[in-house]
Structure 1
Amino acid sequence: MSIVNDIRTAFSRRDNALNQLLLINVLVFAAFILLRTVMFLLTQDKNGHQPVLEWLAVPSVPGTLLTRPWTLLTYSFIHFDFFHILFNLLNLYWFGALVREYLGDRRLVSLYVLGAIGGAVLYLLALNLIPALRSGPAILFGASASVTAIIVAAATLMPDYTFNVILIGPVRIKYIAAVLVLVSIAGINGSNAGGMLAHLGGALLGFVFIRQLQAGRDLGRPVQAVGDFVGNLVSGRPRMSVTHRSRPAEAPAPKKGGLARPEQDEIDLILDKISRSGYESLSKDEKQKLFKASQK
């Protein structure tokens, strides 16, 4: 089938992280629709899918979480409501494209994963330590924490970048992020307190991620290392060890037509300039250096 080939092609490309994240969310959503329908037809139970959901969603009980540690990531790909997944995927597409353009695919994936973990951690801490939020066992699922991390990261990196919002007009993304955070805070005393707390955990992670990156520390390196390890296992590629022979101390000349990779200090300065004045303020040379760095 052409759909299967399209999916296979999407996952075979190494520079396609944003589309891969979107596709995984859609595929999981479709799989749960099919599962719910099949279980209902077989058992006449509308909640027949619940055991599978509980196996993949984050439980609020720490003891249960210890037996299902993978849920800290898997929960961030699960949706049931159409408008829930639509809202999340639209924001992931818009803001994820910005993060991917300036920071590259690997850091986009790192933000998604770390945002999910940050959201789950705050959810667990709040529901177990704050008396007002204790309401018995619960589960957390949805990509909102990851998406919020990406939105806040984009707003921290490029606060004055503008989106044209329907019926409103151009709005700087720092205000979009601020409204999202305020709505999440206001929703803590509502029926979805756990979800709102996860949003805030993701928002905090997105902010810290960019601030640390601007300080020269990439919090996503462990995620990238695990991803590389898993990718090598799946592809069957052996890990290679490279030994360099001693050579005269001279800088290697870049290949003809190529660009030398900029040093981290230069990238940090460029990111600071984006934070202050926006992407449009960069020179052509600075844009080339940023693009080259994003390909690492």
Structure 2
Amino acid sequence: MNILEDLKLQYKIGGIAHQLIYWNVGCFLVSLILFYQSQIGDFDFPFWIALKTDPTPFLYAPWTFLTYAFFHDGVLHLFFNMMVLNFSSQLFLTYFTQKQFLGLYFLSAIFAGFVFVGSYYFLNVSSGIVGASAAIMAILVAATTYQPLMNVRLMLIGNVKLWHITAVILIMDLMQFRLGNTGGHISHLSGAFFGFVFFKMLQNGYDLSMPVTAVIDFFSNLFRKSNKTPFKKVHKNYTKPVEKPTARVVTKDKSQQQIDEILDKISQSGYDSLTKDEKEFLFKVGK
């Protein structure tokens, strides 16, 4: 298997958090080709990708309230965001579902976008933003609100409480609020606020991610229905051939058992510890 096949396999088995990281990195690579201005050494994102505060652009491109959360204006910007996303997603997904994770990512980005546009509109300032920071802060704050006293081991520091890490990041945002990138800090704090509200609402029985979950379920069910064939209805008319479905279940159980063993091996020793046959088996199953 080559590197491309390994990346495809890790994308398929890595879960929603790893897939979002892949999408962010992919969008950054595309922006390097299309939007990077070598003359000025900076990115020039068009109005249909970056979130602009001028009313006209986002009226024609309302999807920018979400697309801005997948693009970054530099390698360090991308690296730091993806590092925090990987860290916070592991905490969040320990207690919540992948659909809630995706719903929170999308909704917090949209909420922070509206706050950013509204704030700059009243300040009569024209600007634009890109970056996943707001959505990432929402995920981190939601996990912190649920388990603030969780011990997290940091290199060169040792064990610290999760709320200490989150508090430091928020304080840094507040300290730099008027020093530069005010719009970015507004969106960060807005995302953090939405993450807090998301968990409190969930605690009271209201899952704000349900609209996103409903859309995902709709398209998932639509996809499953499209794969059904009329022959399955014909099989229901038979009374004798009972052994065939049993054989399928046994085969599926053996395959699932092998998948579980390989995933356990990955969690203990890492993906690189797999043999060539195990990687090929996972790649075939993931197709």
User: Normalising by structure 2, what TM-score?
Assistant: 0.71
Q: CA deviation at 1:65?
A: 1.1
2:105 matches 1:116? no
Give the Cα–Cα distance (whole angstroms) in 1 for the partners of residues 22 and 94 of structure 2: 19
Give the Cα–Cα distance (whole angstroms) in 1 for the partners of residues 40 and 160 of structure 2: 46
Number of residue pairs aligned between Structure 1 and Structure 2: 228
Aligned residue for 2:216? 227
Give the Cα–Cα distance (whole angstroms) in 1 for the partners of residues 227 and 186 of structure 2: 40
| Structure 2, gaps ≥5 residues long | 229-287
2:70 matches 1:81? no
Aligned pairs (5 A) from 1:268-283: none
Give the Cα–Cα distance (whole angstroms) in 2 for the partners of residues 127 and 45 of structure 1: 25
| Structure 1, gaps ≥5 residues long | 241-296
Q: CA deviation at 1:165?
A: 2.6
Report if aligned partners of 1:121, 1:201 keep a CA contact under 8 Å in 2: no
Report if aligned partners of 2:106, 2:135 keep a CA contact under 8 Å in 1: yes
Aligned residue for 1:283? none
Aligned residue for 2:20? 21
Deviations 1:73-116 (A, max 9, x none): 11111013111111111111111011112102111111111221
**Identity between Structure 1 and Structure 2 (%):** 33
Aligned residue for 1:289? none
Aligned residue for 1:5? 5
Distance verdict in 2 for CA 1:182–1:46, change over 3 Å: closer
Aligned residue for 2:202? 213
When structure 1 is superposed on structure 2, of 18-27 and 60-69 the one drifting more is 60-69
Give the Cα–Cα distance (whole angstroms) in 1 for the partners of residues 194 and 143 of structure 2: 12
Give the Cα–Cα distance (whole angstroms) in 1 for the partners of residues 204 and 89 of structure 2: 22
2:99 matches 1:99? no
Aligned residue for 1:267? none
Give the Cα–Cα distance (whole angstroms) in 2 for the partners of residues 6 and 164 of structure 1: 30
Aligned partner letter, 1:122: V
Give the Cα–Cα distance (whole angstroms) in 2 for the partners of residues 79 and 213 of structure 1: 30
Aligned residue for 1:157? 146
Report if aligned partners of 2:11, 2:22 keep a CA contact under 8 Å in 1: no
Distance verdict in 2 for CA 1:71–1:230, change over 3 Å: farther
Q: CA deviation at 1:184?
A: 1.7
Deviations 1:234-264 (A, max 9, x none): x474499xxxxxxxxxxxxxxxxxxxxxxxx
Give the Cα–Cα distance (whole angstroms) in 2 for the partners of residues 228 and 2 of structure 1: 34
